[in-house]
Amino acid sequence: MHLLVTGGCGFIGSNFIQHMLAAHDDLLIVNLDKLTYAGNRRNLAEVEASHLDRRYFFVHGDICDQTLVPELMRQFRFDAVLNFAAESHVDRSINDPFPFITTNVLGTQNLLEAARKAGIPRFVHISTDEVYGSLGPTGQFTEDTPLAPNSPYSASKASSDLLARAYFHTYGLPVIVTRCSNNYGPYQFPEKLIPLTYLMASRNEPIPVYGDGLNVRDWIYVLDHCQGVEAALFRGRPGAVYNFGGDAEKTNLQVVRTILRLTGRDESLISFVADRPGHDRRYAMAFTRSTADLGWTPAYSFEDGMARTLAWYQANAPWLDEVQSGAYRQFMDSWYAERKA
Ligand code: NAD
Ligand code: TYD
């Protein structure tokens, strides 16, 4: 089976490629990645060392490229496209929405169009629970919840989901959309809450908690998400949407306190800062369709997933040092100073 994975050098994509190559002998994977600040080829160094000449190919390129994308599809005759590539951080989308529209909307459109012209038999588009907007204190998102995105990031993802839907209905392209809650695990870039908190705690630096810290997210260990995407690839129904969640609703303060406890740090590191503009209050996912149709449920508890995640970050200090130096540090410092003011 020939797969085109986009954004495979990012957090979830790199976990997905590692998982798929370990689980299946008959795959050839082409990873198309632009290597933005969030993409790191070293996330797949072991895969490159063991599979490069046979089952894994890296292509440095942009999903918006209207020459490269059709050319790859012509050359490799893919059985499926899995679109992980995206600008993925809400705070950055608030600072500058343009790259989000370019990659998440126009890039997805370019992939869908090339897949349609090449007659690709399956297209899995990776999306997020954030497209559903924000919940009150009770209830859960289902696949039928109306889309109501609130940030430039979630609006760009909702737009790409709608394009995927349109390509199914108009052209019959066999598109499946997956929507997942907040992921955590190895290789996550330390701008997102869990790796950022670990990084700050490990340096005894203040941990910025937005607003009152009582916003709720549902947390899922990244391998559970990868197995959900794998199930959607093999067993998903074209035209369907599948939700994945971790059955682990936590306030941000609960998450931060868990990391402080597991790293032996004091709660005095918690620093309340100005809230994120338009901050969604609560996300929660119902995934009964994924269980019924795909046989999928999350396997990792929050406690187990967090223990694995922190152990990975502790064992991979050079990775963390490398990705959070230079431009990253500048971005975080100015963002944090703005919030504190
Ligand atoms: P990430 O930011 O870690 O990685 C994104 C990857 O896409 C990077 O390797 C980057 O270089 C690449 N990329 C960006 N623009 C590109 C372009 N124009 N062309 C080619 N490659 C490009 O993101 P992630 O957290 O791994 O998220 C992967 C996907 O999963 C995204 O579509 C995101 O919306 C979705 N998702 C993420 C979460 C989460 O909690 N992280 C939850 C649900 C869904
Ligand atoms: P984040 O990891 O950015 O994911 P998302 O915005 O996609 O849910 O944020 C998770 C939650 O943590 C969200 O409610 C915002 C909050 N947050 C903080 O309180 N402090 C931080 O430094 C960050 C990055 C996030």
More confident residue, 92 or 339: 92
Closest ligand 2 atom to Cα of 192 = 2
User: Tell me, what's the pLDDT at 340?
Assistant: 63
Answer yes or no: is 171 within a domain. Answer: yes
Structural domain span for residue 128? 2-249+277-323
Q: Say how far apart CA 34 and CA 250 lie, in whole Å.
A: 33
Q: Could you tell me if 296 and 247 are in contact, meaning their C-beta atoms sit under 8 angstroms apart?
A: no
13 alpha carbon – ligand 1 mean position (Å): 7
Closest ligand 2 atom to Cα of 216 = 14
> Whose CA is closest to atom 4 on ligand 2?
192
Torsion angle defined by CA atoms of residues 113, 118, 122 and 127, in that order, rounded to the nearest 10 degrees: -20
Answer yes or no: is 335 within a domain. Answer: no
Determine the 3-state secondary structure of 11 from DSSP: helix
Q: Is the pLDDT of residue 203 over 80?
A: yes
What CATH number has the domain bearing residue 173?
3.40.50.720
- Ligand 1, from 32, 36, 319: best to mutate by most atoms within 8 Å of Cβ? 36
Among candidate residues 87, 129, 224, 249, the one labeled active-site is: 129
Kindly state if the Cβ of 208 falls inside 6 Å of ligand 2: yes
Kindly state if the Cβ of 88 falls inside 6 Å of ligand 2: no
User: Tell me, what's the pLDDT at 330?
Assistant: 65
Query: What confidence tens digit (pLDDT) does each residue in 88-122 have?
Result: 999 999 999 999 999 999 999 999 999 999 999 99
Kindly state if the Cβ of 215 falls inside 6 Å of ligand 2: yes
User: Tell me, what's the pLDDT at 324?
Assistant: 79
280 is catalytic: no
Q: Which tokens sit at 3? A: 């797969």
Q: Is the pLDDT of residue 139 over 80?
A: yes
37 is catalytic: no
pLDDT band at 38 (very low <50, low <70, confident <90, very high): very high
341 alpha carbon – ligand 1 mean position (Å): 30
Q: Say how far apart CA 160 and CA 157 lie, in whole Å.
A: 5
Answer yes or no: is 238 within a domain. Answer: yes
Q: Is the pLDDT of residue 297 over 90?
A: yes
Closest ligand 1 atom to Cα of 13 = 26
Q: Is the pLDDT of residue 217 over 90?
A: yes
Answer yes or no: is 160 within a domain. Answer: yes
Query: What confidence tens digit (pLDDT) does each residue in 43-64 have?
Result: 999 999 886 667 999 999 999 9
Q: Which tokens sit at 160? A: 């790409």
pTM metric for this prediction: 0.96
User: Which residues pair with residue 242 across a beta bridge?
Assistant: 178
User: Tell me, what's the pLDDT at 50?
Assistant: 87
Determine the 3-state secondary structure of 183 from DSSP: strand
Q: Is the pLDDT of residue 334 over 90?
A: no
39 alpha carbon – ligand 1 mean position (Å): 8
User: Tell me, what's the pLDDT at 338?
Assistant: 72
pLDDT band at 322 (very low <50, low <70, confident <90, very high): confident
- Ligand 2, from 212, 217, 328, 336: best to mutate by most atoms within 8 Å of Cβ? 217
Answer yes or no: is 199 within a domain. Answer: yes
Q: Is the pLDDT of residue 327 over 90?
A: no
Q: 22: which residues sit within 8 A by CB, 6+ positions away?
A: none
48 is catalytic: no
Answer yes or no: is 122 within a domain. Answer: yes
Answer yes or no: is 288 within a domain. Answer: yes
Query: What confidence tens digit (pLDDT) does each residue in 165-184 have?
Result: 999 999 999 999 999 999 99
Answer yes or no: is 139 within a domain. Answer: yes
Q: How many domains does the chain have?
A: 1
Among candidate residues 56, 132, 153, 300, the one labeled active-site is: 153
pLDDT band at 27 (very low <50, low <70, confident <90, very high): very high
Kindly state if the Cβ of 180 falls inside 6 Å of ligand 1: yes
Three-state SS string over 263-298 comes to: CCCCHHHEEEECCCCCCCCECCECCHHHHHHHCCCC
